[in-house]
Amino acid sequence: MFKSGFIGIIGRPNVGKSTLLNRLIGEKIAITARKPQTTRNRIMGIRNTENAQLIFLDTPGIHRAKDPLNRYMVDLAVGTLAGVDVAIFMTEASERPHPDDAAVLGKLGNFRHPVILAINKVDAAAKEVLLPQIDAYRTMYDFREIVPISALEGANVALLTELITGMLPEGPRYFPDDQITDLPERFLAAEMIREKIIVLTREEVPYSSAVTIDSFTEDEQRNLLRIRAVIHVEKDSQKGILIGKKGSMLKEIGRQARLEMEKFFAARVFLELFVKVEKNWTQHAGKLRELGYE
- Per-residue pLDDT of 190-227, as tens digits, reads 999 999 999 999 889 999 999 999 999 999 999 999 99
What are the structural domains, with CATH classification, of the chain? 3-167 (3.40.50.300), 185-290 (3.30.300.20)
Q: Which of 63, 58, 82, 89 is nearest to 74 (CA)?
A: 63
Share of the chain above pLDDT 90, in %: 87
Mean pLDDT, rounded, of the chain: 94
**DSSP string of 84-130?**
-SEEEEEEE--SS--TTHHHHHHTTTT--S-EEEEEE-GGGS-GGGH
What's the pLDDT at 203?
Answer: 85
pLDDT tens string 255-265: 999 999 999 99
Does position 126 have pLDDT exceeding 80, yes or no? no
Between 109 and 138, residue with greater pLDDT: 138
Give the confidence band of 124 by pLDDT, cuts at 50, 70, 90. confident
Q: Indicate whether this model's pTM tops 0.85.
A: yes
Give the confidence band of 79 by pLDDT, cuts at 50, 70, 90. very high
What's the pLDDT at 87?
Answer: 98
Measured CA to CA, the distance from residue 143 to residue 141 in angstroms comes to 6
Average pLDDT over residues 264-273: 97
Does position 229 have pLDDT exceeding 80, yes or no? yes
Give the confidence band of 129 by pLDDT, cuts at 50, 70, 90. confident
What's the pLDDT at 34?
Answer: 87
Average pLDDT over residues 97-101: 91
* Contact in structure between 210 and 253 (CB atoms under 8 Å): no
Does position 287 have pLDDT exceeding 80, yes or no? yes
What's the pLDDT at 135?
Answer: 93
